Amino acid sequence: MSNTTSKPARQRRRPDDSPFDYNLDAVEPKQELTPFVVQYQGKRWTFCHMQELDCWDLLEAARDGQVGAMLGAFKAALGDQFDAFRALHMPQYKLQPLFRAWQRHCGMNEDGTPINDPDDTSD
């Protein structure tokens, strides 16, 4: 019989001068996050920039698929205006162009990649 006792893995300690690996507080947007303003049925509607939306709300909405994700994005972007905007009749043929125009305003292709550098994964 062999005596094979395993030693517990040594836990590495962080040096006192490195309290974290990544400073998320220092991250700033690469572009100005200007709102997207739309005129519809004689009123101005202001959508927050897509990059400014709370990611947790968007991820939660995405659980309901592509339509849920789009609805969640509109709801988050319009904030207090959403109920009034939603109450208006909107033909289906206007929804996709609205969403695409908003994406372009926010510097994104239809697939959600940045327009300027679709392969940029450096961050």
Alpha carbons 82 and 90: distance in angstroms, whole number: 13
Residues 6+ apart with CB under 8 A from 100: 110
On whether residue 33 sits in a domain, the answer given is: no
The confidence score (pLDDT) of residue 2 equals 56
* Residue-by-residue DSSP string for 36-65: EEEEETTEEEEEPPGGGS-HHHHHHHHTTH
Q: Are 72 and 62 in contact (CB under 8 A)?
A: yes
Residue 38 in contact with residue 98, Cβ under 8 Å?
yes
pLDDT tens digits, one per residue of 42-63: 999 999 999 999 999 999 999 9
**Number of domains present in the structure of the chain:** 1
91 located within any domain: yes
Tell me the three state secondary structure of residue 87.
helix
Mean pLDDT of the chain: 87
Convert the pLDDT of each residue in 26-37 to its tens digit: 999 988 999 999
Please give the radius of gyration of the chain, using alpha carbons only, rounded to the nearest integer.
22
Closest alpha carbon to 51 in 110, 119, 120, 108:
108
41 lies in some domain: no
- pLDDT at residue 118, rounded to an integer: 46
Q: Which domain holds residue 68?
A: 51-111
Position with higher pLDDT, 77 vs 118 = 77
Q: Residue 82: inside a domain, yes or no?
A: yes
pLDDT of residue 21 exceeding 90, the answer is no
Q: What is the pTM of this model?
A: 0.75
Whether 28 is in a domain gets the answer: no
Q: Domain for residue 123, yes or no?
A: no
Residue 39 included in any domain? no
Q: Within a domain: residue 81?
A: yes
pLDDT at 7 > cutoff 90:
no
**Size of the chain in residues:** 123
